Amino acid sequence: MNKSIQNNQHYFKISQENIEPSLDNFYIFDKKSPNLEKYIKNTKEIKEILTTIKTLQKKKENPKTINRYFEELQKSLSKFSNCSEFICFVNACDNTLDAVKKDLDLIKKITQKYFSKRLLSELVPEEWIQAILDSNSSRKKGKCGELKLISILKNLGVKEVKNWEDFNKSNKCVAQFSKVFSVKKVQESLNVKIKAKKQGKKLDLVAKYKNRIFLIEAKHLNTSGGGQDKQISELIEILNLKEKTPNISYISFLDGSYSNIVLLNTKAGEKLKTQRKEIKKYLKKNPNNYWLNTAGFKALFTDLIKYQ
């Protein structure tokens, strides 16, 4: 008996039965920043200049002299300034590092606020700087989902390609949407429409196995809310896309703890109930498309490579 890949309900069930772990190494950034010393050095420099300005103002020194130190303060600001208490305060004042670096009057006004509202300490604890960097780690997650899926595919013998020549020559490959693999180029080269509501909607990956093409949108969500609902809606929209040729499939991939909430039949509000119904409806309507988490994605491509 010839084996083949199963229907989309099978891989959806695998996803339901194998939920996402609480910790996923692809989204963990637990190493100290290699630039930690540069952040510390710059923070110390900013503090020293601020201390000088405050001392000079207290002594009622010549405004021109004080002005030179404000200019020095501006010059000291760099990409390594974001962890200083001063730039954190700038952000609290609804402004940015770039804004105060360019506007002398603005940095003067915010500095005066800083002196009156905050303590100016000489200490620059390493753990404080690293803690601020850790708190911004979510910004690094943008491409992690794509890289995770590429890693899974590579482990299955699928090659990552960067140009159309290699894509066309290869039987097993994956590419990230990019300038080379733009929506327009993918549409033209693969004869697909990608008819999302948002014109020119760029997906994340395009994978190929022999004559099968998979257009993949990957998202990582850990909490619910308005922004997350929008992203779930985008994945549901992808699930409802359909091409004329049966060898084209869309994959809506979701990992993170919120993926478990979507997949499991737990108590839910009206919004989540609607999302679950739509996912099931579009899986039935479009048998070539898939809603997957990590386990489901691995199972689909393992079977694809094993049996086809």
Question: pLDDT per residue over 144-187, tens digit each?
Answer: 999 999 999 999 999 999 999 999 999 999 999 999 999 999 99
Residue 283 has pLDDT above 90, yes or no: yes
Residue 114 has pLDDT above 70, yes or no: yes
Residue 274 has pLDDT above 80, yes or no: yes
pLDDT at 2: 46
Asked if residue 132 lies in contact with residue 80, where contact means CB atoms within 8 angstroms, the answer is no
Residue 107 has pLDDT above 50, yes or no: yes
For tokens 């196995």, the residue is 209
Residue 1 has pLDDT above 50, yes or no: no
In Å, what is the CA distance from 17 to each residue of 125, 265, 283, 294? Answer: 45, 11, 17, 11
Q: What is the average per-residue pLDDT within 255-261?
A: 94
pLDDT at 126: 94
220 beta partners = 255
Rounded CA-CA distance 71/262 in Å is 53
